[in-house]
Amino acid sequence: MEKKRKKLITWVLLSVLVILGTGGIVGYKMYTKPHRNVSQAKSLQVTAAGLVAAYENNEANANSMYLDKILEVTGEINEVTKNQKGETVITLKGGDMSGVICTLEGIASPDIKPGSSVVIKGICTGFLTDVVLVRCVL
């Protein structure tokens, strides 16, 4: 009986070590994974109104097409603000109830004003009440 118990404890400890080792390797790979260069990467071109309409009509289908992909969105600026981190946030007109919120990486040009047309490239992170793009560049 004692021999079986030692064997069981050995296998359990060995299994735990293998799981922890695998988790450590996966975590290290994810932590050291290089960021995508948004300005250099290929992107899907879409209008702000088309992007918002796709999410409003069928969010699951739009997620499969746009989520975590680099998009080049063309639209009219509705609002320019700063977030808590001091980053520039541009909201593009999309539909009656929703828009596209773009958080810029770096410093925005001072001539960006509401009403002007702009092309913004960024990574789509999904839809809340607006479509959200992060790490955006003009």
Listed by start position, the domains of the chain span 1-33, 44-137
pLDDT at 1: 67
pLDDT in tens, 26-68: 998 888 877 777 777 788 899 999 999 999 899 899 999 998 8
Handedness of CA 19, 20, 26, 30 (dihedral sign): positive
Local structure of residue 33 (DSSP, 8 states): P
Architecture of domain 44-137: Beta Barrel (2.40)
Q: Any bridge partners for residue 131, and if so which?
A: 100, 127
CA–CA separation, 121 vs 24, rounded Å?
A: 34
Give the global pTM: 0.72
